[in-house]
Amino acid sequence: MASPYIELEVGERTVKVTNPDKVYFPEIGATKRELVEYYVSVGDGALRALRDRPTNLKRHPDGVQTEAIYQKRMPPRHPDWLQSVTVTFPSGRTAQSLCVTEVAAIAYGANLGTIDFHPWQVRASDVEHPDELRIDLDPQPGLGFDAARRAAFLTREVLGELGMTGFVKTSGNRGIHILVRIEPRWDFVEVRHAGIALARAVEARDPDLVTTAWWKEERGERVFVDYNQNARDRTVVSAYSVRARPDALVSAPLTWDELTDADPRDFDIRTVPARFAEVGDPHESIDDRAHSIEPLLRLYAGDDRGDMPYPPNYPKMPGEPKRVQPSKARSDT
């Protein structure tokens, strides 16, 4: 028996939505149809975050209560109008990745059960040189959103002194993401070095609040600045992405004034469309200016501490310190 479906007109495309009444978010009873229609309703903003970027899909075809399928490759069967781009992983292997070029592509992904979209920090025109510096502020256990908020304003201070503008959004959980458009002149290693320099500068402002410690055992109750989100094949959830939570919270772009008293629980699949219709996209001007990362690279070059550990799935990188958990390193001596 064929699955029930509806068809939505999205721009010039007709997008088929199968099993539209399947409940994806049990806490609020939101369905697959609501998910797809949500992405269409905030399409201009969601596309701004994803346009021309290789994009990974975090899929939950049977709802968020089920295990995720993290898809880095283009769906094998897809409409002819869907575009792709070749990306290279840290291992050296390559793959065809979804390249989002229109709102219909986002709706198509949502029909596959994609809850949140994870774009690379590069564009299809140049997949070796990032055009976005990402600051991921992750409160460690025992801390909440307010700690991330305080760390975000410290980050804004540092960026301002460097002449850089950051665009802020909730992560859709307890954290905060800050995005900085940069000139696509530097490779992944250099952009990651810039991210390390920025993270260390923020940490220096308040080391009791902020940490750059890669190993969890060293972080304590502080906000971790995940500098490795600037490495190749590492992604953060895109602006306007719904998160795979029963309450369907959204990674919501904010103005800095709004961040002062924002509550991430106010932004979900049902509240954000009305907000978008009323106030538009706080990140509308994010592409207006791209910054040089030379000031950050100078900070990195002048820091005797050098590089920091990469994620465990990476090959050993030149200049990287020993990738061993500190307590294990001590026990081995």
Residue 285 burial class via C-beta count within 10 angstroms: exposed 0-12, middle 13-18, buried 19 and up: exposed
The number of angstroms, rounded, from the C-alpha of 22 to the middle of its chain's C-alpha atoms is: 27
Question: Per residue in 164-202, pLDDT tens?
Answer: 999 999 999 999 999 999 999 999 999 999 999 999 999
Which pLDDT does position 141 carry in this prediction? 96
Q: Is CATH 3.90.920.10 the right assignment for the domain spanning 132-234+288-302?
A: yes
pLDDT at position 331: 57
Residue type, 112: L
Contact assessment for residue 61 and residue 240, using Cβ atoms and an 8 Å cutoff? no
Q: Is the pLDDT of residue 307 over 60?
A: yes
The average pLDDT across 247-261 equals 98
- State residue 257's pLDDT score: 98
Task: Look at residue 332 in the predicted model and tell me its pLDDT.
Answer: 57
d(CA 110, CA 17): 9
Q: What is the pTM of this model?
A: 0.96
More confident site: 276 or 332: 276
Please state which CATH class domain 5-128 belongs to: alpha beta
- Pairing relation of β-strands 83-88 and 94-99? antiparallel
Location of structure tokens 């800050």: 178
Judged against a pLDDT cut of 70, whether residue 285 lies above it is answered with yes
CA distances from 271 to 170, 247, 265, 275, 276 (A): 14, 12, 10, 6, 9
The domain locations on the chain are: 5-128, 132-234+288-302
Q: Which residue has the higher pLDDT, 314 or 293?
A: 293
pLDDT at residue 326 in the model: 81
pLDDT digits (tens, 9 = 90+) for 16-66: 999 999 999 999 999 999 999 999 999 999 999 999 999 999 999 999 999
132-234+288-302 matches 5-128 in CATH topology: yes
Q: What confidence tier does 333 reach under pLDDT thresholds 50, 70, 90?
A: low
pLDDT at residue 101 greater than cutoff 60? yes
The pLDDT mean for the chain works out to 96
Closest CA to 34 of 243, 321, 269, 279: 269
pLDDT, residue 313, reads 85
Instruction: Give mean pLDDT, residues 238-266.
Output: 98
Res 98: pLDDT: 98
Given this model, what pLDDT does residue 318 score?
86
According to DSSP, the β-strands at 54-59 and 94-99 are antiparallel
Quickly state the pLDDT bin for 125 (edges 50, 70, 90). Answer: very high
Residue 229: predicted pLDDT: 98
Nearest CA among 18, 84, 15 for reference residue 56: 84
Instruction: Say how many C-beta atoms besides its own lie within 10 A of residue 308's C-beta.
Output: 20
Q: Compute the Cα dihedral for 285, 165, 144, 308 and give only its sign.
A: positive
